[in-house]
């Protein structure tokens, strides 16, 4: 197994080096190396999952403070496996995408570094290795977000937000982990976990909250999510797929690591907090996804939404654990993992599809697109699969996750504990609301972008993605279908991943059954029945058409109430599609609307033009971050008085500081 | 109040023997319509007299719905269009488009004298011609305005009920 | 615990809370008054059922009284104001209706969480229903916060009162007759005064929304 | 064992055939009731069947810009309804896969049909269809919370969300009038009205495009496709009404296998659905359609009732 680790790291480093140095065949070769590296990591993870034993390797003299320490647990292996799958698809996709963008040296090297660090983070066995990999991941993705800064000024702003949030988060995580390590006198996670029993409640809670804040910001949890829609939207296609399909997962991994492994005896309120954060995140994410018109921004908010659902399951698991319902706790934890893996699969499919659309049309604004399904047939099918999966439509994989979540919440409500009941009811409400909003968001994303008629020249001039891009999208979409029809493929792997953390909670190959709780589902038979019924009805339709002598379907101009001219601009746009939701949730979203009517000079009864402007900026950014930033700026301006450029004044500050120190230390 | 309406409705007797008599002559397409006729109404420039009479066909007095006819919103859903008024220049193209928007087989019923020969409006500057000039008409309801009984009779010759 | 007594009690309490929700749900003042009257009836039934169960004729009598005063007299009094001065609906509330309904749901959850200890302490079948009494009070309060009309405010106030009375019935062996009588009459008096005030405001300044009172300040 | 499987198969088949006929007939019944109250005779109850037969004999059409989604949507709609008709406990508790079909699955299979229709509307590339799709999506998104919370409340009482066992739990209890149950059923009923596009949420008989929700989405369909959609929608209505009446009044549903109990079950189901359908149309005649943006208020109310129901289920157990 050490050889596999070596293969992963060496191939990854080769990819970085080739990306940074070579000028010939830079992208294909470095992508090949990345595929090899990810395949190595995936094989390693599968071995760990299959045997159920940890894989450990360490090298103390590479890094200070405990050195490099790799300790791959089944849980970590689950995350490595998911990251590796997404990474392989993204790397293959990259070879085609590079014709459009992201072919430069810095971008290539950063992409390779990003991929490698994603694979290494869950392998970390001590604080030093973890933080080292975490920082590499943050920095390399930052470079990738900003890689197009010369052409797009927005990407600089996105990168700035991302940098601040990700470094702030990393700071909080560092504080928590280093604090824990200091208490345990060891940087090893295993030592921290055993030492944690001696930790006082308040200290443990402080560390947990710091870690939660840091990891939650990585997972896009409200109110620390503001970077996510910006960075995901600005990053190039394969990078946003990796970010959404692998990087945000690591935020959840961190929360499980700290909350369940390192500090296993946490009080109940930790998980109540997690639940509430999850519910809020899911609702806010879904609302903004339903009202966005930027395709990638929509996908990014939906990532927030899905991470919210994961946290709901995680919270329910923690709450059930503290109320002595271990079966429900195991079920909810398994649910969280299933939701997470599902999300990785369908969201990377969707982001790769969105990248293909962007590459083909140069636009992410759905109001400018339309009718792409005829020009990009395969991309449209894979995007549809992803969209239906995220909407939890059977028989795709999202449905299994949603069903499991409902079961977890149902059974967690069965306890008589107040916190569980309150959190459970809220969670079901949040889950149901986001379910409906997600359907709006993704019917819109697919329908407005791919169906109907092209709204602009850009949309009409689109072309299908290159072969390698199609392969990557198709493989991921197939994975969504396969894990949806036969959920055991997924549930079985998750059960092995949780082997050390929770007891097995779901069983059955064709039929999922909850162990010792009531509940069963059989997507395999259900999809069989659906297919059968579909064939039956299709047969009937063909038969009656033939019997009445109609050889073909009459293609007629779309019915527009007899008006003379129907232009593609008259179709509903993404903005108008989400408008009802914007109105219903007016009080929450507080959109800015502006109607400007100008009349012709001669008569007020004739209009010259009407201009309608609506902006739907993130309400948390507007009412939480902007005022905070303004305050900071005002404060900074006041402080500037202190620095007026006089050297004497600076020397005086130094003297004063010295005096103060002496007084304190006396 | 609901109760009173219900009682009145349930005890109502047929008012008009003529409406209730079974149709004597059937249109040839009645066989394939199986007692169901969906109609899209097109006002090609009528004075709205025909519209009033058509509306009263669906009122409690004449109630043509009991014989299987129904107005629908889209020509795609319709077996027939029922066109009233002379065809004005403005509505010439929309009328054509409505006809083209129907799937096969499709029927055209012209409603009122104007639809047949432009009636009062013959030769007016805004008029392009009668419905017969624009489309092949399958059935005609004469009258200015046509009596609802006549409209019901023509519709029933299609539904056969 | 006898089934014969639990189910009617449960149902009556549910009527009270659902009508409280209805006053938030419907914009029409007539509809919320109808809900209020139903609420009074529900409250009266609660007292009567409890009284019958405890073989306490005084409590039954209180129930009848509550039913008459809160179920009939007070709503009729207010509806006369409405008929005279107010057109039929509440203008746009401060918080839109879906949001305020969600708020009511959250308040009910809160009431449920907050009264768990109390319920466990008393541990009678009637005490299980205490959360709904508290929730009714909270919803009434909430209605007063989000609604503009003077009449809606009175409805909110009465809902608060009903909630308190409900909680009292459920938590103890019932309020002494004198206290309940006093409270009911107090409320009747308060409503009468408010009614006069509202009518006065309306005639004097043509004001229906309490927000407009702020204009008087200047 | 083998005979049980056989009987489940027969029960499923019987339900399927029943649903195929009951859908259009329920539509005819509801129209009839409406006509009678309006003082008309109205069309015969069997008229929708005639309409379907005639539509099947017409040519299919498609708008110029439509793709395969447009032609697949009616199939998906009907197929999803058929599958649920065979697998949900409507007339008998012992249908195929009855131990593995739960309410959530039913809800999401129904969603499959709804999403197909939403997408098909956008596929036509016309303004009205887009408008209908957007509105229907909004109503659907607002309905789901109420529906799911109501389902949760009902499942809490039985400790499971398996449909057959939920209905069975209703058969077993003597008190049908628990507060949690009543609240959940009211909430569920409002959600059913919204989900099936009845008044006061949507007016199925409107001819004005700007007032349409569901109807606007299907303006482009003709012939057999339109027949499939009308038929599918009516089956969904009957399915939801049937499930509602089985959850509210489970009496008569076949709890054992055998021809007699299945027959009684079908008869009871027909009666219950007819009663609820007549009730719905009586309600429809006496109410006006809500303005589009008042619909969320109605559904938020249904949601609140659901939450109250969950709390009473927990507080009063």
pLDDT (0 to 100) of residue D177: 61
The domain tally of chain B equals 1
DSSP annotation string for B60-128: TTT-GGGGTEEE-S-GGG-SEEEEES-EEHHHHHHHHHHHHTSPSS-EEEEESHHHHH-GGGTT-TTEE
Handedness of CA C48, C50, C52, C58 (dihedral sign): negative
Q: In a mutagenesis test of the A interface, which of B97, B98, B104, B106 is the best target, namely the one with the most A β-carbons within 10 Å?
A: B97
Peptide bond into B105 cis (omega under 30): yes
Name the DSSP class of A513: E
pLDDT tens column, A142-162: 999 888 777 778 888 888 899
Q: Does D281 touch chain A (CB under 8 A)?
A: no
- pTM listed for this prediction: 0.91
Q: Which of C7, C13, C132 sits opposite D175 (nearest CB)?
A: C7
Cα-trace Rg, chain D: 19
Cα separations (Å) of D281 from C145, D42, D270? 38, 14, 16
Q: What is the pLDDT of residue B14?
A: 46
Rounded to the nearest angstrom, the minimum Cα separation between A476 and chain B is: 39
Nearest CA in chain B to A557: B101
| Residue from the list A554, A557, A562 with its beta carbon closest to the beta carbon of B94 | A562
Which of A428-432, B1-5, C113-117 comes out lowest in average pLDDT? B1-5
DSSP secondary-structure letter at A121? Answer: G
Number of Cβ pairs < 8 A linking chain C and chain D: 65
pLDDT band at C2 (very low <50, low <70, confident <90, very high): very low
Does residue A435 carry a pLDDT above 70?
A: yes
What pLDDT digit, counting tens, does each position of D224-274 carry? 999 999 999 999 999 999 999 888 888 888 888 888 888 998 999 999 999
Higher pLDDT, A479 or B61: A479
d(CA D252, CA A531): 32
Contact D43 B74 (CB under 8 A): no
Percent of chain A at pLDDT > 90 equals 48
Where is pLDDT greater, at B36 or A1? B36
Give the range of the structural domain holding residue B62, as residue numbers without chain letter: 2-159
pLDDT number for residue A245: 93
**Is C156 or D225 the better-scoring residue by pLDDT?**
D225
D221 with B76: Cβ contact below 8 A: yes
Q: Which residues on A lie below 8 Å from C92 (Cβ)?
A: none
Contact C21, D308 (CB under 8 A): yes
The Cα–Cα gap between C160 and C154 comes to: 10
State yes or no: pLDDT of D174 exceeds 60: no
How sure is the predictor about A250, in pLDDT bands with cuts at 50, 70 and 90?
very high
Which segment, A56-70, C21-35, D68-82, is predicted with the most confidence on average?
Answer: D68-82
Size of interface B-D (CB pairs under 8 A): 92
Range in A386-390, D10-14, D311-315 the model is least confident about: D311-315
Please say if the pLDDT value at position D106 is more than 80: yes
**CATH number (domain holding residue B18):** 3.40.50.12280
Instruction: Provide the shortest C-alpha distance from residue A319 to chain C (in Å).
Output: 15
Instruction: Name chain A contacts of D144, Cβ cutoff 8 Å.
Output: 432-433, 435-436
Q: Check whether D178 has a pLDDT greater than 80.
A: no
Q: Do chains D and A touch (3 or more CB pairs under 8 A)?
A: yes
Task: Give the model confidence (pLDDT) of A290-344 as tens digits.
Answer: 999 899 999 999 999 999 999 999 999 999 888 888 888 999 999 999 999 999 9
Q: pLDDT tens digits, chain B, 161 residues: what are they?
A: 556 555 555 555 445 556 677 777 888 888 888 889 999 999 998 999 999 999 999 888 888 888 889 999 889 999 999 999 899 999 999 999 999 999 888 999 999 998 988 888 888 898 988 998 889 999 999 988 899 989 999 999 998 88
- Domain range for D276 is 2-315
Taking residues C35-62, report their average pLDDT: 86
Exposure of B79 in the CB half-sphere (CA atoms within 13 A) = 25
Give long-range contacts, CB 8 A cutoff, 24+ apart: D260-267. Answer: D261/D92, D262/D7, D262/D10, D262/D11, D262/D14, D262/D91, D262/D92, D265/D90, D265/D91, D265/D92, D266/D14, D266/D15, D266/D18, D266/D91
DSSP annotation of A450: H
Chain D nearest CA to C15, separation (Å) = 9
pLDDT for res A535: 95
Cα-based angle A254, A256, A261 (whole degrees, multiple of 5): 105
Q: Does D152 touch chain A (CB under 8 A)?
A: yes
The verdict on a CB contact (< 8 Å) between B100 and A554 is no
**Contact (CB, 8 A) for D118 and D77:** no
The pLDDT, as a whole number, for residue C87 is: 58
Spatial contact of A270 and A184, defined as CB atoms under 8 Å apart: no
Q: Categorize the per-residue pLDDT at D78 as very low, low, confident or very high, splitting at 50, 70 and 90.
A: very high
Contacts of D165 in chain A (CB under 8 A): 518
Q: Tell whether A642 is within 8 A of chain B (Cβ).
A: no
- pLDDT tens-digit series, residues A587-629: 788 888 888 888 888 887 888 888 888 777 888 888 888 888 8
d(CA A84, CA A8) in angstroms, rounded, equals 10
Which residue did the predictor score with more confidence, A438 or A433?
A438
Mean pLDDT of chain A: 89
Residue C3 has pLDDT above 50, yes or no: no
Contact residues on chain B for D282, CB-CB shorter than 8 A: 2
For A104-137, the pLDDT digits (tens) are 888 899 999 999 999 999 999 889 899 999 999 9
pLDDT in tens, A182-230: 888 888 898 998 888 888 888 899 999 999 999 999 999 988 888 999 9
pLDDT at C176: 61
Tally the domains of chain D: 1
Which ipTM value was assigned to this complex?
Answer: 0.89
Q: How confident is the model at residue A376 (pLDDT cuts 50, 70, 90)?
A: very high
Bridge partner list, B71: B39
Residue D116: per-residue pLDDT:
95
Asked if C102 lies within 8 A of D178 by C-beta distance, the reply is: no
Residue C212's pLDDT is 60
Residues C188-195 have a mean pLDDT of 68
For the ranges A220-224, A433-437, C184-188, the lowest mean pLDDT is seen at: C184-188
Distance between CA atoms of A282 and A147, rounded to whole angstroms? 30
Residue A137: per-residue pLDDT: 93
């Amino acid at each position: 197994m050490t050889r596999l680790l070596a293969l992963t790291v060496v191939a990854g480093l080769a990819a970085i080096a080739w990306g940074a140095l070579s000028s010939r065949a830079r992208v294909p070769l470095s992508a090949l190396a990345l595929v090899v590296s990810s395949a190595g990591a995936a094989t390693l993870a599968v071995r760990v999952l299959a045997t159920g034993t940890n894989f450990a390797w360490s090298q103390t003299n590479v890094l200070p403070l405990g050195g490099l320490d790799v300790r791959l647990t089944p849980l970590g292996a689950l995350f490595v496996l998911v990251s590796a799958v997404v990474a392989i698809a993204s790397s293959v996709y990259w070879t085609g995408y590079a014709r459009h963008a992201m072919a430069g040296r810095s971008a290539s090297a950063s992409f390779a570094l990003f991929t490698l660090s994603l694979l290494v983070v869950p392998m970390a066995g001590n604080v030093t290795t973890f933080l080292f990999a975490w920082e590499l991941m943050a920095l390399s993705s930052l470079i990738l977000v900003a890689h197009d800064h010369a052409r797009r000024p927005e990407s600089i702003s996105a990168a700035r937000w991302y940098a601040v949030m990700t470094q702030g988060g990393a700071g909080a995580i560092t504080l928590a982990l280093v604090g824990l390590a200091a208490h345990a006198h060891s940087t090893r996670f295993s030592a921290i976990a055993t030492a944690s029993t001696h930790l006082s409640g308040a200290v443990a809670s402080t560390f947990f909250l710091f870690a939660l804040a840091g990891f939650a910001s990585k997972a896009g949890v409200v109110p620390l999510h503001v970077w996510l829609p910006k960075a995901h939207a600005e990053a190039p296609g394969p990078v946003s797929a990796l970010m959404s399909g692998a990087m945000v997962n690591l935020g959840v991994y961190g929360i499980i690591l700290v909350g369940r492994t390192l500090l296993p005896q946490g009080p109940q309120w930790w998980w109540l907090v997690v639940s509430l954060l999850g519910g809020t995140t899911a609702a806010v994410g879904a609302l903004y996804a339903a009202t966005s018109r930027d395709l990638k921004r929509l996908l990014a908010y939906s990532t927030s939404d899905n991470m919210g659902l994961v946290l709901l399951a995680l919270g329910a698991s923690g709450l059930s654990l503290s109320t002595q319902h271990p079966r429900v706790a195991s079920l909810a934890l398994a649910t969280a993992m299933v939701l997470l893996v599902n999300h990785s699969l369908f969201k990377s499919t969707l982001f790769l599809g969105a990248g293909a659309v962007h590459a083909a049309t140069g636009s992410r604004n759905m109001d400018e697109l339309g009718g792409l399904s005829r020009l990009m047939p395969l991309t449209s099918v894979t995007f549809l699969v992803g969209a239906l999966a995220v909407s939890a439509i059977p028989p795709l994989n999202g449905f299994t996750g949603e069903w499991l979540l409902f079961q977890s919440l149902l059974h967690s409500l069965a306890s008589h504990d107040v916190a569980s009941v309150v959190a459970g009811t809220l969670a079901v409400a949040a889950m149901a609301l986001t379910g409906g909003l997600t359907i709006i968001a993704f019917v819109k994303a697919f329908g407005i972008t791919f169906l109907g008629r092209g709204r602009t020249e850009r949309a009409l001039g689109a072309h299908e993605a290159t072969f390698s891009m199609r392969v990557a999208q198709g493989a991921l979409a197939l994975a969504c279908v396969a894990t949806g029809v036969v959920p055991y493929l997924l549930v079985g792997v998750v059960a092995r991943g949780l082997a050390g953390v929770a007891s097995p909670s779901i069983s059955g190959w064709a039929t999922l059954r909850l162990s010792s709780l009531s509940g069963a589902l059989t997507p395999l038979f259900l999809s069989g029945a659906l297919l059968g019924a579909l064939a039956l009805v299709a047969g009937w339709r063909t038969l009656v058409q033939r019997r009445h002598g109609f050889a073909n379907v009459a293609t007629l101009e779309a019915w527009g109430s007899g008006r003379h001219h129907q232009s593609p601009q008259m179709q509903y746009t993404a903005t108008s599609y989400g408008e009802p939701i914007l109105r219903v949730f007016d009080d929450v979203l507080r959109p800015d609307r502006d109607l400007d009517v100008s009349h012709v000079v001669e008569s007020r009864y004739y209009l010259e033009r009407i201009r309608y402007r609506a902006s739907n900026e993130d309400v948390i950014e507007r009412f939480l971050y902007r005022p905070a930033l303004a305050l900071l700026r005002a404060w900074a301006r006041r402080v500037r008085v202190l620095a007026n450029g006089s050297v004497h004044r600076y020397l005086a500050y130094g003297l004063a500081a010295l005096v103060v120190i002496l007084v304190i230390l006396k | 109040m609901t109760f009173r309406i219900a009682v009145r409705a349930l005890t109502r007797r047929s008012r008009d023997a003529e409406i209730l008599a079974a149709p004597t002559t059937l249109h040839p397409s009645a066989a394939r319509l199986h007692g169901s006729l969906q109609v899209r109404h097109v006002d090609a420039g009528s004075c709205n007299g025909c519209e009033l009479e058509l509306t009263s066909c669906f009122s409690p007095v004449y109630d043509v719905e009991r014989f299987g006819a129904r107005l629908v919103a889209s020509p795609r859903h319709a077996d027939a269009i029922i066109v009233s008024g002379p065809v004005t220049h403005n509505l010439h193209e929309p009328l054509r488009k409505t006809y083209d928007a129907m799937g096969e087989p499709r029927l055209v019923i012209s409603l009122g004298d104007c639809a047949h020969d432009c009636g009062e409006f013959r030769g007016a500057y805004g008029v392009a011609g009668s419905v017969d000039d624009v489309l092949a008409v399958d059935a005609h309801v004469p009258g200015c305005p046509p009596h609802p009984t006549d409209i019901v009779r023509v519709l029933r010759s299609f539904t056969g009920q | 615990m006898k089934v014969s007594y639990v189910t009617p009690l449960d149902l009556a309490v549910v009527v009270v809370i659902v009508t409280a929700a209805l006053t938030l749900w419907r914009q029409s003042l007539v509809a919320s008054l109808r809900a209020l009257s139903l609420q009074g009836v529900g409250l009266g039934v609660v007292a009567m059922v409890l009284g019958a169960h405890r073989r306490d004729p005084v409590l039954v009598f209180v129930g009848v009284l509550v039913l008459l005063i809160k179920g009939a007299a007070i709503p009729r009094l207010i509806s006369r104001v409405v008929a005279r001065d107010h057109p039929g609906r509440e203008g746009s509330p401060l918080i839109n209706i879906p949001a305020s309904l969600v708020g009511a749901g959250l308040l009910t959850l809160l009431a449920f969480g907050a009264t768990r200890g109390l319920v466990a302490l008393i541990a009678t079948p009637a005490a299980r229903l205490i959360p709904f009494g508290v929730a009714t009070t909270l919803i009434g309060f909430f209605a007063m916060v989000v609604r503009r009309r003077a009449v809606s405010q009175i409805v909110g106030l009465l809902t608060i009162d009903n909630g308190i009375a409900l909680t009292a019935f459920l938590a103890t062996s019932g309020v002494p007759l004198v206290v309940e009588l006093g409270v009911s009459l107090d409320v009747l008096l308060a409503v009468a005064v408010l009614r006069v005030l509202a009518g006065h405001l309306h005639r004097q300044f043509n004001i229906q929304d309490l927000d407009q009172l702020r204009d008087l300040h200047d | 064992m083998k005979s049980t499987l056989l009987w489940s198969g027969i029960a499923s088949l019987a339900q399927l055939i029943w649903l195929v006929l009951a859908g259009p007939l329920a539509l005819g019944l509801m129209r009839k009731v409406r006509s009678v109250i309006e003082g008309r005779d109205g069309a015969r109850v069997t008229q929708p069947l005639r309409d379907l037969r005639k539509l099947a004999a017409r040519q299919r059409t498609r708008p110029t810009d439509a793709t395969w989604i447009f032609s697949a949507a009616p199939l998906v709609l009907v197929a999803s309804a058929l599958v649920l008709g065979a697998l949900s406990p409507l007339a008998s508790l012992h249908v195929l896969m009855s131990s593995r079909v739960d309410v959530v699955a039913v809800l999401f299979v129904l969603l499959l049909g709804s999403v197909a229709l939403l997408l098909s509307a956008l596929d036509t590339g016309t303004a009205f269809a887009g408008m209908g799709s957007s509105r229907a999506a909004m109503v659907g998104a607002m309905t789901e919370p109420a529906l799911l919370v109501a389902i949760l409340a009902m499942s809490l009482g039985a400790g499971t969300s398996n449909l057959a066992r939920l209905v069975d739990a209703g058969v077993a209890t003597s008190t049908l009038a628990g507060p949690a149950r009543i609240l959940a059923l009211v909430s569920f009923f409002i959600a059913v009205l919204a989900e099936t596009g009845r008044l006061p949420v949507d007016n199925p008989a409107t001819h004005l495009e700007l007032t349409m929700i569901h109807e606007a989405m299907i303006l482009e369909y003709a012939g057999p496709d339109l027949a499939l959609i009308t038929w599918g929608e009516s089956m969904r209505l009957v399915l939801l009404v049937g499930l509602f009446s089985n959850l509210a009044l489970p009496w008569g549903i076949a709890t054992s296998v055998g021809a007699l109990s299945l027959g009684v079950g079908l008869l009871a189901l027909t009666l219950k659905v007819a009663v609820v359908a007549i009730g719905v149309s009586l309600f429809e005649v006496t109410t006006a359609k809500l303005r589009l943006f008042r619909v969320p208020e109605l559904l938020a109310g249904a949601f609140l009732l659901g939450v109250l129901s969950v709390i009473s289920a927990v507080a009063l157990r």
